[in-house]
Structure 1
Amino acid sequence: MKQEKISALQLFYVMVGFEIGNTMIFGIGAEAKQDAWLSIGIGMLFGLILMFVYTKLSAYYPGDTLVQMIPKIIGKYLAFPVNIVYLLYFAYLASTACRDFGELIVSTILVETPIAVVIVSFMVLMIYCLRGGVEAFGRMGEVVFPVYMFAIVVIWILLLSVQEFNINNITPVLGNGVKPVLKEVFPNTITFPFGETIIITMFFPVLNKKQNARKIGMAVILIGGILLTLNSIMNLCVLGPEIYANVNFPLLAATRQVTIADFLERFDALIILMMVAGVFFKVGGWTYGAAVGIAQVLNVKNHRSILLAIGTIIPPLSLLHASNYAEHLEVGAKFITMYLHIPLQIIIPFLLFSIAFIRNKFKPKKVLN
């Protein structure tokens, strides 16, 4: 069977959409108060270091996904439990992204609709797209990403018209010192969303020109980080640091302040459009990574058959891991970041990179006769 490929531009669209996906609507870096945007910018710099590690691993093992690299680095017996943890991690984060999407939809436009119906309906469409193959996913990225960017640019322009918009809301810079900023950078902004780009290691093998892998990875972190930083600044200028830190969806709250000529208002539809597009990338990326990884661990030739099984697991998992949205956020802050993000995005990849680097450094050189 011919192996599917995606272009560098398609991978860029998919990964930037994945990085900023559902992140745009959250108040990331909120504990840094008016310096939230600064914590995102610094987190982006550390994200570049992580991306260097991810792309370097792929350079050491070209053509391999993360799941295929790990046995070659640490041996198949030790690799098996590590791979299982990564696959569960991918599937679990797909479920949390679905929960974020469902909570936003039922709290805004479909208030009478059970959240289970929203999540299941979205997941059916997601699996339908992914079963078309990674090429279909890449082409959808080309269509959906411009829609996402159009929505966010329109929202930013509208926010500039808000009467409460005040650039002084982001001053004084480092007014509370550097410590709150650094506490937000690690572990929060470095892991969410920049560390989550570890999923790109599951896409590198299908890239048609693998020599572009590092350029794409670095561009994803830079462009995504800049967009998130600008979004944080816009939200802070409209809401102020206190409100920014105390609402579930700051971008939605800021957009609701928009009123044009006392006639046009309630631009919630733009936020919903952006969220649907963003979650498409987020859930799609995690689900694809989980399906491909499971297929490789089980030696199944076609991962599409596994997508149906994953698609039936993710919706109930998204509902069962927390009884309400407040608990969902608490689980994310106290459990996912400390016990999943840090080990799986930072510690294990750095260990794998160190071992791969040493092996590559001392690998016997082939002698040409």
Structure 2
Amino acid sequence: MRKEKVDTFQLLALIILFELGTAMIVGVGLQARQAAWLTVIISMVGGALLYLLYHYLYNQFPTLSFIEYLPEILGKYMGWTLGLVYVIYFIYLSARVLRDFGDLLTNAYYNYTPVFVVNCIFIFTVFYLLSKGIEVLARVGEIMFGIYMLLFLIVKILMFSSGIVKFDLLFPILPNGWTPVLKSVFPSGVTFPFGELIAFLMILPFYNQQKKAKKIGLLAILISGILLSFSIGLDTAVIGPDSMQRSTFPTLEAISKIQIGFLQHLDVFFLFKLIIANFFKLAIFYYAATFGAAKLYKLPNDKSLLFPIGIIILFSSLIIAGNFAEHIKIGLDFVPLYIHLPIQIGIPFLLVTIVFIRKKIN
């Protein structure tokens, strides 16, 4: 049994913050233009189905993390090798989240600050919290979730109050039919951000109420999907679908248009939201990589790997792309098809099939 525990509301908060993290920076389904919000809703359904796949695996090995039961399913050597692949995957996604956040801050706020400095401060803040354990991370997430939702509500109320929302920009909803929507849904919409929940297979063994894991996970996906869809739809109604596609940070551009008397330059609310959500998204991936590596090498204390893996994540975030435009292009064109698809869908489906067949035979 795990000594550290995560309770129901903490798990719910962590999943929602995780889902809204970088999705709020770069957007989801923007290729579908006015129907981007609809893309998120459909992708959310696909994400829920993926979570059921992940939950099936968790339900078979509730006390073990994903890396620990891979050898149980595939055998010692193949399971260990695949576990290493997932550790590298979690490190890579950690680096992408860190790069997203670093480029946002340096491009929008700190133009003369090297991205290395921003990323360094961010990764070591996450390192400090993770060194206190997953239970402390969950407790802090519980508090930060309340602050995040308050900021989210304030920003949306100010948008409506300022009179900048023009719902006619959302019509016609399907100017080019369903084709752009469906292309945006799969694979990119389903895999990002919903399929990234595979990282929670490293967290769920700490959850103290196994029977509620399915319901809480699906509820969190529903809430995060609705919030993300609402946010993207509202941003589109403020700056229009063309600007949503062209803008580097569309949500930031939409918020910058709020002007109510002396209330201007309210993008600070956006910044606080992103710091909270991206902090926990990075923390989950970072922890999954560290905990997984410790299990692979049978180390008694996973905290001994926090620092070296943190350094790997930091420098990886700087070399994965030459600039932010290249970083986004890789994330939209290459990663969903060639990395997310096999790791989030292909391999878990194969594992579920093997486990299911074994159960039937036995």
Shared fold (TM-score, shorter chain, > 0.5): yes
Is 2:313 the partner of 1:314?
yes
| Pairs within 5 Å for 1:255-294 | 255-261=255-261, 263-294=262-293
Q: State the secondary structure of the residue aligned to 1:260.
A: coil
Q: Is 1:89 the equivalent of 2:79?
A: no
CA distances 1:282-316 after superposition (whole Å, capped 9, x unpaired): 10000010011001100011111111111111111
Deviations 1:35-66 (A, max 9, x none): 00111100000111000000111111121111
Verify the 8 A CA contact 1:22 1:97 in the aligned structure 2: yes
The whole-number CA distance in structure 1 between the counterparts of 2:283 and 2:50 is 22
Measure the CA separation in 2 of the matches of 1:114 and 1:359. 53
Matches for 1:12-31 after TM superposition, within 5 Å: 12-31=12-31
In 2, distance between residues paired with 1:171 and 1:360? 51
Query: How far apart, CA to CA, are the structure 2 residues paired with 1:68 and 1:360?
Result: 19
CA pair 259-350 structure 1, distance change in 2 beyond 3 A = same
For 1:4, give the aligned amino acid. Answer: E
How do residues 149-164 of structure 1 correspond to structure 2 at under 5 angstroms?
149-164=149-164
Aligned to 1:178: 178
Task: Please give the alpha-carbon distance, in whole angstroms, between the structure 1 residues aligned to 2:6 and 2:27.
Answer: 33
1:75 aligns with 2:85: no
Query: Are 2:138 and 1:138 equivalent residues in the alignment?
Result: yes
TM-superposed CA distance for 1:128, in Å, is 0.4
CA shift for structure 1 position 362: 2.4
What TM-score do you get using the length of structure 2 for normalisation?
A: 0.97
Task: Give the structure 2 partner of residue 56 of structure 1.
Answer: 56
Q: Specify every segment of 5 or more residues in structure 2 that has no aligned partner in the other structure, as ranges.
A: none
- Following superposition, the deviation at residue 125 of structure 1 comes to 0.8
**Residues of 2 paired with 1:331 and 1:168: CA distance?**
33
Whether the 8 Å CA contact 1:162–1:238 is kept in 2: the answer is no
Partner AA of 1:349 in structure 2:
P
Residue 325 of structure 1 aligns with which residue?
Answer: 324
Please give the alpha-carbon distance, in whole angstroms, between the structure 1 residues aligned to 2:361 and 2:213: 25
Q: Kindly indicate whether the alpha-carbon contact (under 8 Å) linking 1:27 and 1:248 is maintained by their aligned counterparts in 2.
A: no
Is 1:8–1:209's contact at 8 Å kept on the other side of the alignment? yes
> For 1:116, what is the secondary structure of its paired residue?
helix
Q: State the SS of the aligned residue for 1:15.
A: helix
Residue 237 (structure 2) pairs with residue 237 (structure 1): yes
Q: 2:161 is paired with a residue of what secondary structure?
A: coil
> Counterpart of 1:332 in structure 2: which amino acid?
G
Matched residue type, 2:29: G
Distance 2:180 2:86 in 1: 31
Local SS of the residue matching 1:264: coil
* 1:15–1:281 CA contact under 8 A, matched in 2: no
Displacement after TM superposition at 1:2 (Å): 6.7
User: For 1:220-235, what aligned pairs fall within 5 Å after superposition?
Assistant: 220-235=220-235
Counterpart CA distance in 2 for 1:247 and 1:62 is: 43
Q: Which residue in the other structure is 1:188 paired with?
A: 188
Q: Distance in 2 between matches of 1:221 and 1:166?
A: 28
Overall identity of the aligned pairs, in %: 38
> 1:326-360: CA deviations, max 9, x gaps?
11111212221111110111111111111111112
Residues 162-171 or 152-161, more deviating = 162-171
Deviation sequence 1:167-215 (CA, Å, 0-9, x none): 1222222231111100000011101000001111111111111111111
Residue type at the aligned position of 2:50: L
Give distance in 1, aligned partners of 2:190 and 2:342: 13
Matched, 1:303 2:336: no
Q: Which amino acid aligns with 2:286?
A: T
Q: 1:152: how far off?
A: 1.4
Q: Using the alignment, how far apart are the partners of 1:170 and 1:321 within structure 2?
A: 35
Amino acid in structure 2 at the alignment position of 1:295: A
Looking at structure 1, the residues matched to 206 and 164 of structure 2 have their Cα atoms a distance apart, in angstroms, of: 47
Q: Which amino acid aligns with 2:354?
A: I
Give the C-alpha shift of residue 161 in structure 1: 3.0
Kindly report the root-mean-square deviation, in angstroms, between the aligned alpha carbons of the 2 structures.
1.3
Equivalent-residue separation in structure 1 for 2:227 and 2:69 (angstroms): 32
Say whether the 8 Å CA contact 2:41–2:225 is kept in structure 1. Answer: yes
Give CA-to-partner distance per residue, 1:207-256, whole Å, 9 cap, x none. Answer: 11111111121112111111111111111110111111111111100001
The answer (yes or no) to whether the contact 1:27–1:245 under 8 Å persists in 2 is: no
Q: Which moved more, 1:40-49 or 1:160-169?
A: 160-169
Q: Tell me which residue corresponds to 1:366.
A: none
Q: 1:109 — aligned with what?
A: 109
Q: CA deviation at 1:162?
A: 3.9
Which moves more between the two structures, 290-299 or 155-164? 155-164
